[in-house]
Structure 1
Amino acid sequence: MSKTIRYEMAYDAPVETVAAMLADPTFREDVCRYQGVTQVTATIAVAGDTKTVTVDQMQPTAGVPSFAKKIVGDETNIVQQETWSSLTQGDITVTIPGKPGEMSGTITLAPTDAGGTLETVELTVKVKIPIVAGKLEGLIADLLLKALKAEYKVGRDYLSR
């Protein structure tokens, strides 16, 4: 069992500008702060043509249903890693260290006819806990969508500076 999400973000900026924003640790930290993250470290590593973006964050779990809070606790560590093989293609994994679940997928940047960029994120959420897996996958998918909407809002603000 798994849950798949797809989210598109249309920016009024060329692909190169959006790619630079996504590789800016300050932008990544701003997105986390906007979401109320209590601690965040964003790092960018470049090796040849590959760029790796890692966002390691501690996020409060206030508002999480009680069945899930028993599993994740009052605060949870979330590590998002993106491996960009080109300016426009990246693989993404999101892990919650020590917890039974995984999220993985792709990120693409494509130019639009109007000179902007369409960022598309596709993720599959899989939780390996019998009985509550479906509920947890739905909850995590909802939280990921909320995080992507926050990134989109902060991204539009970032690009308008």
Structure 2
Amino acid sequence: MKINRTLAYDLPPEDARAMSCDPAFQERKCADAGALDWNVRVTERPDGGTTISTRRTLPTTGFPSMLRKLLPAGMVSTEIIDWAATAEPDGTCTATLRVEFHGAPASMHGTIRVSPTAAGGSSITVDGEFKAGVPLIGGKVEKLAAPIIFDVIDSEQRTGRAWVADGV
């Protein structure tokens, strides 16, 4: 299932990327999304890029009953964001995105693209493919899980806007 969401921040792309790479922002993002626990690791790579690894547990309260049956103890995921070392000439920054859902035969792979806007801010596009490898019902699981994935992405935008408003 295609996952596509566009976020916006009143920051230039370089600053939006830097916000994403700040461990305190990643931790706040987890807390704001309602995660029960999390572990964030930000690593500067020798090539100048940055890898962000975030493992979190989200409660399944409010999940559709079919998903709660598959994930009775909560949804544990690991999100890996690999930011490229350099921006494009126009300031656009790109990253690959991978999310593994532990204890569930599901994953998401895609890209994050942070582009400048005419007003001096950033447009962040998350473009991915979510797959649930459950025989016979994989498509149904994908449709049930998609709104939850969108909610997590939307929560990140709220966190980012609060981060900017707080002047962090």
- Normalised-by-shorter TM-score class: over 0.9
Give the secondary structure class of the aligned counterpart of 1:140. helix
Q: % of aligned pairs identical?
A: 29
Q: TM-score, normalised by structure 2?
A: 0.90
CA contact (8 A) 2:76 2:103 kept: no
Give the secondary structure class of the aligned counterpart of 2:102. coil
CA contact (8 A) 2:41 2:54 kept: yes
C-alpha distance in structure 1 between counterparts of 2:76 and 2:4, whole Å? 23
CA contact (8 A) 1:62 1:74 kept: no
C-alpha distance in structure 1 between counterparts of 2:140 and 2:9, whole Å? 33
C-alpha distance in structure 2 between counterparts of 1:139 and 1:78, whole Å? 17
Q: TM-score, normalised by structure 1?
A: 0.94
C-alpha distance in structure 1 between counterparts of 2:110 and 2:99, whole Å? 9
C-alpha distance in structure 2 between counterparts of 1:76 and 1:144, whole Å? 12
The answer to whether the aligner puts 1:54 opposite 2:59 as a matched pair is no
The answer to whether the aligner puts 1:98 opposite 2:103 as a matched pair is yes
Match of 2:31 in 1: 33
Match of 1:65 in 2: 64
The answer to whether the aligner puts 1:127 opposite 2:125 as a matched pair is no
Offset at residue 140 of structure 1 (A): 2.0
Give CA deviations for 1:68-98 in whole Å, capped at 9, x if unaligned: 2121123121111011123411000111123
Unpaired runs of 5+ in structure 2?
A: 88-92
Give CA deviations for 1:3-42 in whole Å, capped at 9, x if unaligned: 1011111111111111110001111111111121110111
Unpaired runs of 5+ in structure 1?
A: none
Give the secondary structure class of the aligned counterpart of 1:155. helix
Q: Structure 1 stretches (4+) deviating beyond 6 angstroms?
A: none
CA contact (8 A) 1:53 1:82 kept: yes
Give the secondary structure class of the aligned counterpart of 1:31. helix
Count of residues in correspondence between the two structures: 159
User: More deviation in 134-143 or 103-112?
Assistant: 134-143
User: More deviation in 113-122 or 58-67?
Assistant: 58-67
